[in-house]
Structure 1
Amino acid sequence: MPPKKRTGGSRNELSTSAGQDNLSGNESAEDFDNDVKGKRKKPATETSAKQKGTSEKDASGKTVYCHWLMKSEPESRIQNGVDVKFGIEDLKALPNQTGCWDGVRNYQARNFMRDMKVEQQAFFYHSNCKEPGIAGIMKIVKEAYVDHTQFDKKDPHYDPSSKPGNPKWIMVDVQFERKTKRYIPLSELKKYHLRHKAKGGPLKNMALFTRSRLSVQPLTEEEFNFVLSLEGKGRI
């Protein structure tokens, strides 16, 4: 979901939007989802997953994730007269290095955002660019609330079918933590995914490849830690 720079609704800080779910551009091993509708699931019951930083199951059997990957466009692209560019340096430059991740228009991605908890970490993923990949780490600082851009007729992600009394879309606030020690490209992650898929390994079921079109994706603890371990390794 491509964040963009603009004044965010009732707040005075700039916001990051995530409208990539509606894109049709080609991104090598990944594309953006157009409208894969998912049913809202029952809220997760209290577990120790947040404290442990692991992926567990709640009482209903639903997996509870504590790490995420969120896509954004670091290169300029004009949509409905607005530049939706927003890279990790743009997030870092915001007041308090914090912004709202708005513009998500995919039901599965929205549902994942509903599950996010304060202090959980997410990879900032550069997409729809020359070399897609993981650029840094951010954390969730405000849990899901109504995305005001769905009601703004001037916004690229305006949704005329969504009503203030029954809004469809939500957003979360994220804060920059750090850039990764090196840029971890999609091409490298894909090599590990194929290797692990064939012989077993942490990235064998990574959503970046099994649900590649989603702009907001869950990560298991094992996946998150493996990707972090790549920071100190050379490219394969």
Structure 2
Amino acid sequence: MAYWLIKSEPDVYSIDDLRRDRQTIWDGVRNYQARNFLRQMQVGDLGFFYHSNTSPLGIVGLVKVIESDVIDPTQFDSNSPYYDPKSILESPRWFTVKIEFVEAFTQIITLETLKREFSPEQLLVVRKGNRLSVMPVEIEVAQKLLLR
């Protein structure tokens, strides 16, 4: 099993939205490096759900990958902000995963806490200037986060 960190702005899609929906596809990622991380995810992997562009920033819950290598349908929807006119059904450019809600943490693990406990080499989200919405989390880091 691998571990991941996935970011979303809570006013776009929050951990509470996922709790309500129970599962969703993680659509709309339009960064090639993040897309490549999504393509590496496997069924059973766990993800730390991170609220970005809010206050406080931080990890708010846990999700599980229930389907991998899913074609992101928003790339074909001309009414979607994630529409990609260069993407075609026969050769899609954007892939994602389907996730399900595992738990919402009773206490947020703030970015400040993450910066105190982990170096940028250990946890990419604390690296200055890192704007990726999907990133891997090392097993040792994940285990420490899960013990909180």
Q: Secondary structure at the match of 2:117?
A: helix
1:192 aligns with 2:128: no
TM-score of the superposition, structure 2-length normalised? 0.93
Which structure features the higher share of strand residues?
A: 2
Matching residue of 2:3: 67
Structure 2 residue corresponding to 1:205, chosen from 122, 129, 139: 122
| RMSD, aligned α-carbons | 1.5
C-alpha displacement of 1:166 = 1.3
Counterpart-to-counterpart distance in 2, 1:125 and 1:205: 16
Counterpart-to-counterpart distance in 2, 1:181 and 1:129: 17
Following superposition of structure 1 onto structure 2, how do residues 88-107 of structure 1 map, counting pairs within 5 Å? 88-94=15-21, 97-107=22-32
TM-score of the superposition, structure 1-length normalised? 0.59
Whether contact under 8 Å (2:72, 2:95) holds in the other structure is yes
Q: Secondary structure at the match of 1:113?
A: helix
Whether contact under 8 Å (2:111, 2:126) holds in the other structure is no
C-alpha displacement of 1:179 = 1.1
Q: Which has the larger radius of gyration?
A: 1
Q: Runs of at least 4 residues of structure 1 off by over 6 A? A: none
Q: Secondary structure at the match of 1:156?
A: coil
Residues 60-99 of structure 1 deviation map (CA, whole Å, 9 limit, x = unaligned): xxxxxx0000001102xxxxxxxxx1100000101xx011
Structure 1 residue corresponding to 2:46, chosen from 121, 138, 143: 121
Counterpart-to-counterpart distance in 1, 2:82 and 2:23: 21
- Report sequence identity in percent: 40
Gaps of 5+ in 1: 1-49, 51-65, 76-84, 198-202, 232-236
Q: Secondary structure at the match of 1:227?
A: helix
